[in-house]
Amino acid sequence: MKTIIIGANHAGIAAANVLLSQTGHEVVMIDKNSNLSYLGCGTALWVGRQIDSYEELFYTSKEALEKKGAKISLETEVEMIDFCHKKVYCQNPTETYCETYDKLILATGSRPISPNVPGKDLKNIHFLKSFQDGKTIDALLDNPAVKNVAVVGAGYIGVEIAEAIQRRGKNVHLFDGESGALSSYYDPEFSTKMDQTLADHGIKLHFGEIATAYKGHETVEAIVTNKQEYPVELVIHAIGFLPNNALGQNHLETFRNGAYFVDATQQTSDPDVYAVGDCVTIYSNALQKDTYIALATNAVRSGIVAGHNIAGVKLNAIGVQGSNGISIFGLHMVATGLTVKAAEKYGMDVLYTDYEDYQKPTFMKENGKVSIRIVYEKATRRIVGAQLSSQMDVSMAIHMFSLAIQKQVTIDELKLLDIFFLPHFNQPYNYMTMAALAAE
C-alpha cells in the first residue's frame, strides 16, 4: 500500500507517523517548504524574546521521519493531480516527475487572507504563518529605522505578534474592523479585558478601522484606513486564513469556504483520497454540524484518524469544540465551543451565566480573580460554550467544559459536580459551581 501525503506539517506528520508504525505501508511526503514540523504558535514567543531561540519549535525533522521509513521531498511543488489514474505530478528545483498512489492524503493547510487594496505589493508588508515569515519579521525588527508597526487583524495571531513587537520596543498599531480584539473567540465582556491589557501596555488600538490602502515608494510608509492615515515602516497581516484547495477543488466536494468535505474517517468524496488539517471541514459538537475550525490540535487529531483508517484500523473522529487559549502580558484567557454572539449568528437560542470570584480563599497570598461565562442552549440546557479569564492559570478548567460539550452535559448537571477543594487550588464554593447554580 503506497500513500502519498501532500503537506508535511502537523496533520501530514500525524498521519505519516501512524502509517509508518504499521507494516506494509510505503509513505511518500511532499511539501513545497524547505522545513517541516514548525510550531507557528511559538513565533511570537521568539520574536518577542520570551524564549531563547526558535530551534525547539521544530518537533521533528526530515531525517527522523526518513529513519522511520518515509520518503520525503521538500521544496517540491505539486503541479497537478490526476485523480482518475492516481498520479501526482511534481516539480522540484532540478526535475519534473510523477508519483503514483494507492491512497492520497491532502494536508495542504491554509493560506493567509490578503486584503486587495492599493499598495498591497509594497515592500515590508508581510504575513505571519511560516517559519520564513517569522525570520523575516524578526530581522526587520532589528532595524532601528523600523519604529512604527501596523498589525492588521486582532485575532490570536495579531494580538500575539502585537505583544511581541511591543516587547521589542516598537510603536505598535493594532487594527481590526470589529469593535474589539479576539471577537471570534470571546464575548465583549471578556474581549474588553484583553483590549484594556493591550492598551495598558502601550499598544494603540484601532477598532472599527479597515485598511483601505498602503502608501510608499517601493517600501510601505503609511497605512490608510476608513478613518485616518498613519505612518508605518512595517505592516503585518493577520486577518485570517482560507483552506488551500487548489489541487482538489475541481474534483472533490467542498464546503462554502472551499474546505474539503470529509466524513468521520477523514475520507473525501473520492474514496481513495483523504484530507486532513486546515484544508478540511470538521464536525462541531456545539453546533452539531460540519464547520471550519483551523487549529493545530484539530489538524493533529485529523491526521491520526486518517492514518488509522488507511492502515485498516477503523477510527472515527468524535468532533471538536474548538478549544483555544491565549496569554498576553500576564492575562490568561481560554474558551471552548460557542460564544453568545456566535450561537446567535447560527440561529441558536441560548442563555448564559456569568460569575467572578477569587480563584482561592482570600487568605492565600498568591491569588487572583477569575471571570467565567457558561453558554447553554435554552431548550435542551446543554452546555455549548465557556469562557474564562484571569491573571491566574485557569487553563485546565476549559478541558472539562470541552468534554461537557462533547458529552452534551446540561448546565443543571454541572451544579452539583464533584469538584474537590484545597486552598492551594480553589475555593470551597468553586467558581464553576457558583456559575452553574446562578444559571436561569
Residue 304 to residue 310: CA distance in whole angstroms = 10
Residue 431 to residue 153: CA distance in whole angstroms = 32
Average pLDDT over residues 386-404: 97
Q: What is the pLDDT of residues 207-264, one digit of tens each?
A: 999 999 999 999 999 999 999 999 999 999 999 999 999 999 999 999 999 999 999 9
Band of the pLDDT at 115, cuts 50, 70, 90? Answer: confident
Residue 423 to residue 187: CA distance in whole angstroms = 30
Q: What's residue 184's pLDDT?
A: 94
Q: What is the pLDDT of residues 291-335, one digit of tens each?
A: 999 999 999 999 999 999 999 999 999 999 999 999 999 999 999
C-alpha cell at 128: 505571519
Residue 79 to residue 91: CA distance in whole angstroms = 7
Q: What is the pLDDT of residues 161-172, one digit of tens each?
A: 999 999 999 999
**Residues labelled as active-site residues:** 10, 41
pTM score of the predicted model: 0.95
Q: What is the pLDDT of residues 258-283, one digit of tens each?
A: 999 999 999 999 999 999 999 999 99
Please state whether beta strands 110-112 and 125-127 pair in parallel, antiparallel, or not at all (unpaired): unpaired
Answer whether 71's CB lies under 8 Å from 29's CB.
yes
Query: What's the residue count for the chain?
Result: 440
Residue (of 163, 120, 122) closest to 141 by Cα position? 163
